[in-house]
Amino acid sequence: MKEHRSKMIRVKPSAVAKKASSSVDKSFRSSMFYNFFRSHRLSEERFSNGIFGKLLSSVSIYTSAKTFKNSFAQKTETSFIVTFLRDFYERMLLCNFRNYASVLFYFSIYAFAVSASGYTFDRSSVSGVGDIYSSLILLVVSLILMPLKGSLKDIVSRSKILSRMADLFFMPVSFSERSASYIPGTHNAGVMLIGTSLGLLTAFVPIKSILAAAAFAFLVLSFFKTPENSLPVIIVFTMFATAQQLCILCIVAFFAYFFKVLRGKRSFDLKYFDVLYLLFAFVIIMAGFNTTKSGFSDRYTLRIVSYVSVYFIFRNCVRNDKASKKIINTAVLCGMISALTILYSRFCAWGYTDIVREYTGIAFKAPLVDVFSLCGFLLIIFPFVLSSLASSKYNRGKLFTLITVFLSAAALLSTGSKGFIIGVAVCVLIYVVSSFKNPFTSLLTVVVVYVIISVAITNAPFLGSDRFLSVSDYTKSMTVTTTQIISDNFVSGIGFGTDNFSSVFSAYTHFSDNAVMYSNNVFLHTLACFGVFGSIFMLVLFVNYYKMQFTSISENRSKNLVSSVVSISSIASVSTVLLRGFTDYPLSNPRVSLMLFVIIGFSAAVYYRGSNDFDVLFEE
């Protein structure tokens, strides 16, 4: 009897709980909120069956691209310039590696002679000393590389580390159409002429600029040969490149992919969300012309347009789970590097460099002055670090990503900003809650945990005063001024651009410093620049984006782990940017704005790649 009663006591509450949970689950799944955010497939079907969907389908685009290829594109493909660049790229990869070492040897010798002679006449030149050291380093490197035999392709294929790096950056080893045994001979006259010319060029251009230009030229050729190479390169360059360099890189990558589309070698699939995104780009361009000044707004608008074009590269080049894992691994690697950079910069900023200089005599310098800019970049890729930790199957991968998670969290905490800490909390919260199967439990956990985290962070004594939650008279005045601008330009807005916003803001404000290029609220700034019509369209775009990702999570929860974690991580990243947008304008940071479009394109590619049936038509 006692055993029977104990069994009854155990079984009865679990049955009641299961019944209550199932009833709540059914009622929630039948609600308007649940159906609205999981009805993206219906919008896709309506669009594909409509007129625009049939005109912009993969078959129509492929047919038009094939027709174009048989006319103008075929002439372009067989032209002298395209043929010369293709042969030059293939010869570079199959050329004997000793030729590269010889060019570097002659280049370093003549560069050292030019820099040393220039330094003897002008000893106050700091760049001359740097060129001397750089030329000596290149000379040592050339002597080390001289004994290597074989082509660059052979050396990469024999080395495990180099082959893994090539595989990580989408660079296949057997990408050349020439024979694998074809290795051009060494031409001493040509090698010496190239090295001597580059060495004498250092009299006008620094050595670092020449090397950077050569590396960029090789990247451009690799983009035109294989557009997938641009995916990890853009993410890596986002860490350290300037806004202008990122703009040039994005434009080159987009035209390289567009050139492949015109040749019929790649697909350009347009779905419902892609059309909305095209209209979003059109709204930005039109807002750039709708300014108080004559003509196009400024370089900031051109930069944003170039960042917007990155969406289509990631949207069409990510074709399988292997490519998705490569992008996630690249994000994890960038997260570790940026976290170490932030920690080192904070280490230098706290005065420890003075102690090191006093005892060792060595002066350290922080590698990046704008720590908060790099923190914004780290915050938006932090969810992908968590997703890599969850999807990693091997112990080494889990250990590496676990170390990266701790380093990233420590780097964001070291800034003492409540905005970054709340962003990390939101990332973790969305990532954990999205794994729950019961939606009622997910919503309840979101409300409870978010309230606890908000109260704890707000009252944390070690953080002190912060810009994220504190409201000063300056921010109140900015909010009031932006509201006045919105009320006077409610329909069409004032136009897009930093210079345009600064000129309009100076006419409304009484600040002593009129160089205010952004509002302290990204939503008010968007409403002021684009007006009510443009803002409503952007709201529709982001609502459809969330619908698309929630649909992906519900469909791939038990089917595809990579698609599920990519959708969860993308929602967390976009949500952190929107959360910080209430009291800041995070899109002013070129790293954050570029990575935002990268993540949107990457997650859209993961969502749509299951329905793309025409990739086989565009293989090389």
User: What is the chain's percent helix, strand, coil content, to nearest 5?
Assistant: 75, 0, 25
CB atoms within 10 A of CB 477: 14
- Which residue has 């104990």 as its token pair? 6
pLDDT score recorded for residue 402: 81
State the amino acid at position 1 in one-letter form. Answer: M
Residues of the chain with pLDDT under 70: 1-94, 119-130, 150-153, 156-190, 264, 291-298, 348-369, 390-397, 419, 431-475, 510-514, 556-560, 610-620
pTM for the structure as a whole: 0.75
426-443 burial, b at 16+ Cβ within 10 Å, e below that, comes to: bbbbbbebbeeeebbebe
Q: Which long-range contacts (CB under 8 A, 24 or more apart) does 155-164 make?
A: 155/97
Judge whether 520 and 475 are in contact, CB under 8 Å: yes
Angle between helix 371-391 and helix 230-240 axes, rounded to 10 deg: 140
Structure tokens at 534: 């443009």
Spatial CA neighbour of 374 closest among 234, 245, 240, 270: 240
Q: What are phi and psi of 151, to 5 degrees?
A: -85, 175
pLDDT score recorded for residue 7: 42
Domain layout of the chain by residue ranges: 78-225, 272-612
